[in-house]
Amino acid sequence: MKLTAVILAAGESSRMGRPKALLEIGIAGETFLGRLARVFREAGVAEVVVVLGHAAGELRAAAPAGARVVVNEAWRAGMLGSVVAGAAAATGEAFFIAPVDHPLFRPSTVRALEAALVDPRIAVAVPTHVGRRGHPLLLRTPLRAELAQVPPGQGASWVLRRDPARVAEVAVEDPGVVADVDTPEDYRRLVAKSIESDR
């Protein structure tokens, strides 16, 4: 199956105070954006699309080699617009949605989500860890039409709720799927954990 990874990096990162995409992680100082692109490629996902918005000029220069960049000019309206823009740019049979502030999931999780789509009845694969849903999501490409029709005030999760029978929850031993980084304190905790895991 040809897959596309859509990395969402359009937000203002107001609580963090600087672009999350450029935050560094691990001993090697890899950026969140760079790490996500690497993880997807290590899992066999050849196409990477990065959706930018706020500070697009600065972040474009930091886009991983080989990634396609899409700019969501309406980024202030919320994440859904970036999801729709990224989905429209995807050329694979299915596409991952990966917010840049969830940088710690593993290649094994990406492969587990792909495996869930072997069942033709499944259109969406969602990772879970200890019963909590996380990221990235994997959606079959035809669902981008539904994403473009999400009612005002709703997010991409509306597509999941619309038909629960087509959604597979994939349990993974990967705490990275629920590791969200929104604040400087979140970042300090994440850096401490990532450095320890890299040793």
Backbone phi and psi for residue 106, each to the nearest 5 degrees, phi listed first: -105, 160
| pLDDT of residue 72 exceeding 90 | yes
Q: Which helix (H) or strand (E) covers residue 36, if one does?
A: helix 32-42
pLDDT given at position 28? 74
Q: What pTM, to 2 d.p., does this model score?
A: 0.93
* Mean per-residue pLDDT over the chain, rounded: 92
Single-letter code of the amino acid located at 48? V
CATH number of 3-193: 3.90.550.10
Interval 76-135: pLDDT, tens: 999 999 999 999 999 999 999 999 999 999 999 999 999 999 999 999 999 999 999 999
